[in-house]
Amino acid sequence: MSSASTVLQSQETKDRAETANKNLLFWYRELYRDQFRDLPNPSTLSILEVGSGTSPLKQFFSNIITSDVLDLDYLDLMFDCHEIDKLNAIKDNSIDVITLTNVLHHLKSPIAFLNRAASKLKSGGKVIATEPFFSVLSTPIFKYLHHEPVDFRILEPELGEVQGPLASANIALPWLIFFRSSCRSAQSV
């Protein structure tokens, strides 16, 4: 293992330990309660978490399939979510919910990811994404105190063409929770 990889693993271990913080767990519990409030029984669904990193979601629901672009020993899958459509470990049309917490703003092509992720969803499946709001108050926090780097020079991500019922990128990003249409048509989400 290279020293850079060891440092990264060490930082991930530290970040994971911080997740055990009681106050942070309270925040995550409330977040997950809100994210899954419209699902009758999340513990019975097939749920893929993209960008699991230090997320404690699996502490609340043992049925979560965890994943990240980093190869962390406590995660179920390691893959680049931009290529989710090529992921053989998860069959097409097999997932009830794909959830992302603080992930979309890291993606170079968020719309391409959403379009590709739709292939893994069952008919009627959902993508649930929660993103930070960069306001006058939060920007200094993200810029100077946040543990992950944030590049404020990126004014617009590569949005590409939005397919299906989402008519434009301007509509698509605020539509962070969407349903795959129940009937399969020529257009997909």
Residue 168, pLDDT above cutoff 80: no
Question: 10 or 140: which carries more pLDDT confidence?
Answer: 140
169: confidence class by pLDDT, cuts 50, 70, 90: very low
Alpha carbon of residue 119 to chain centroid = 16
The mean per-residue pLDDT over the stretch 164-173 comes to 42
**Would you call 131 exposed, middle or buried from its count of C-beta atoms within 10 A (0-12, 13-18, 19+)?**
middle
SS3 48: strand
Report the relative pairing of strands 64-68 and 77-78 from DSSP bridges: parallel
Q: What are phi and psi of 69, to 5 degrees?
A: -75, -20
CA–CA separation, 102 and 123 (whole Å)? 25
Could you please state the CATH topology (level 3) that the domain comprising 3-179 is classified under: Rossmann fold (3.40.50)
Q: SS3 string of 62-109?
A: CCEEEEECCCCCCCCEECCHHHHHHCCCCCCCCEEEEEEECCHHHCCC
CA–CA separation, 38 and 58 (whole Å)? 19
Note the pLDDT tens digit of each residue in 69-124: 989 999 999 999 999 999 999 999 999 999 999 888 788 888 889 999 999 999 98
Q: What are phi and psi of 7, to 5 degrees?
A: -65, -45
* Cα angle value 63/48/62 (rounded, 5°): 15
pLDDT of residue 175: 41
All structural domains of the chain with their residue ranges: 3-179
18: confidence class by pLDDT, cuts 50, 70, 90: low
CA–CA separation, 33 and 14 (whole Å)? 26
Q: Is the pTM of this model over 0.75?
A: no
